[in-house]
Amino acid sequence: MLKRSRTAAVIAAALALPLLHACTDSGSGADSGGKVTLEYWLWDDKQQPAYQACADEFTKANPGISVKISQTAWAQYWQNLTTQLASGSAPDVWTDHASYYPQFVTSNQILDIQPFVDRDKVDLKQYQGGLADLFVKDGKRYGLPKDWDTMALVYNTKLAGDATGLDKLTWNPTDGGSFEQAIAKATVDANGKNGLDPAFDKTKVKVYGFLPEWGDGSQGQNGWGDLAVSNGFTYLDKNPWGTKYKYDDPKLAETITWFKHITDAGYAPKYDKTSTLGRDAVMDAGQAAFTIVGSWTINSYLGIGAKQAYAFAPLPSGPTGRRTAINGLSDAIYAGTKHPAEAWAWVRFLGSPACQDIVGEKAVVFPAIKSAADKALAAHKAAGRDVHVFTDEAAASGGTFFLPITDHGNEVSQIVQDTLQGVILGQTSPADGLKKANDQVNALFK
């Protein structure tokens, strides 16, 4: 109760502070007490220059507020943030992810910004459809959308063979469709035989046709989740904030069975033989032809310094059509910040066209505001990068789905990931393993 009272008091005090630009995208200025420096955290080094440019513009409009940006790699980022929140010394604002923020909401560590949104009449319709609703619970809002991503196939143009038809691949869990055919054909053994040749030796694979992602937690955003949903699988009874998972759905078991099949066939590396360097490094080494990635990797594969010639293709169309996860990030304000008005000014600016146009023009991610995302697509095109598959998928009617958002996210992720790894290692069958995992997951909500 004390934390809730503290949060309410913070909001009330912030709403009462005088504002320099109360009705502009630049947000509010510092209070009359002097200059304020806000701590802002993010994890993507490629995005840092764009947000530094936003911070510079923000300070020009609000001379009383400066923004200090700290960037830390993904894994260390969440470890540091969790530690800082627990100690009461978190940054004023941080980049938030849908799979992590429920735990911060439960702990009352994020400021509810709905009163600010209402007061300043922020246009929530300017964002890509549905993103603004992801960070809402029980009428409280815990962030404004900053960007989005969809998934696609990336392939090595030399190893994948003829690209004809790669934009129209099909998939099903029974025979893998034309997607499995493309994967098998791209798989080559030490004798130069591909996976379609009866003489192919799966014990001596030189180039794998496909690289799965098995460190993907409970969501499978980088592969199995997208195909499972295209097979008719649904994660939850409702999303966000459902309380009953459906990992025992036969449609998911069929999908994971197919992934195990291509692994057993030698078209994908066995889990215990997977490189510890990660999929990007294996692709760069020319040891695999296809994998599934998000739009945040565009510059890694098509930018300066790419070690192979790559291109993107849409995800294969499954029994219920082509489906891709669409994920969005937000910016969260620490409930214990000493500068709530200034923090809101910065978050509002981050969520405005003024900042998101800058981000779009840098062409690192697709901003949440639709017009800014168009700028990102245009910037990629001007640089010779063909990335329209990501925006086409985002615009397709019924072509996207949101990843599950619930309480107990960390526990759910660990249970499901451990189970899937056990399945791929042959320790349990997909149906049995997923049934047990589903029981464990749903027990968390009782």
Residue with tokens 């800058």: 358
Is the confidence at residue 333, as pLDDT, over 60? yes
The string of pLDDT tens digits covering residues 368-416 is 999 999 999 999 999 999 999 999 999 999 999 999 999 999 899 999 9
Is the confidence at residue 251, as pLDDT, over 60? yes
What average pLDDT does range 195-219 have in this prediction? 95
Instruction: Identify the residue with better confidence: 158 or 216.
Output: 158
What average pLDDT does range 236-265 have in this prediction? 97
The answer to whether the beta carbons of residues 413 and 217 sit under 8 Å apart is: yes
Residues 6+ apart with CB under 8 A from 296: 44, 149, 364, 365
Q: Residue 275 has what pLDDT?
A: 61
Q: How many CB atoms lie within 10 A of CB 3?
A: 12
Q: Residue 33 has what pLDDT?
A: 52
Q: Residue 20 has what pLDDT?
A: 41
Instruction: Give the containing element (helix H, strand E) for 263.
Output: helix 250-264
Residue 98 pLDDT class (50, 70, 90 cuts): confident
List of E strands, 179-283 = 188-189, 205-211
What average pLDDT does range 42-55 have in this prediction? 96
3-state helix, strand, coil in the chain (%, to 5): 40, 15, 40
Q: Residue 216 has what pLDDT?
A: 85
The string of pLDDT tens digits covering residues 153-202 is 999 999 998 889 999 999 999 999 999 999 999 999 999 999 999 999 99
Q: Residue 17 has what pLDDT?
A: 46
Rounded to an integer, what distance in angstroms lies between the CA atom of residue 75 and that of residue 65?
30
Sequence length of the chain is 446
Q: Residue 13 has what pLDDT?
A: 47
What does pTM read for this prediction? 0.90
CA of residue 194 relative to chain centroid, distance? 34
Q: Residue 428 has what pLDDT?
A: 96
Is the confidence at residue 69, as pLDDT, over 60? yes
Residue 29 pLDDT class (50, 70, 90 cuts): very low
- β-pairing, 36-42 vs 93-96, is parallel
State percent of the chain over pLDDT 70.
Answer: 91
The answer to whether the beta carbons of residues 317 and 112 sit under 8 Å apart is: no
Sheet holding 327-333, edge to edge: 65-71, 36-42, 93-96, 327-333, 144-149, 366-367
Q: Residue 199 has what pLDDT?
A: 98
What average pLDDT does range 200-206 have in this prediction? 97
Rounded to an integer, what distance in angstroms lies between the CA atom of residue 55 and that of residue 51?
6
What average pLDDT does range 79-101 have in this prediction? 94
List of E strands, 52-158 = 65-71, 93-96, 136-137, 140-141, 144-149, 151-156
The answer to whether the beta carbons of residues 352 and 360 sit under 8 Å apart is: no
Is the confidence at residue 5, as pLDDT, over 80? no
Structure tokens at 55: 């911070």
The string of pLDDT tens digits covering residues 277-329 is 689 999 999 999 999 999 999 999 998 889 999 999 999 999 999 999 999 99
Q: pLDDT averaged over the chain?
A: 91
Q: How many CB atoms lie within 10 A of CB 76?
A: 10
Q: Residue 117 has what pLDDT?
A: 98
Q: Residue 4 has what pLDDT?
A: 39
Is the confidence at residue 23, as pLDDT, over 70? no
DSSP label at 355?
H
Phi, then psi, of 222 in degrees rounded to 5: -90, 30
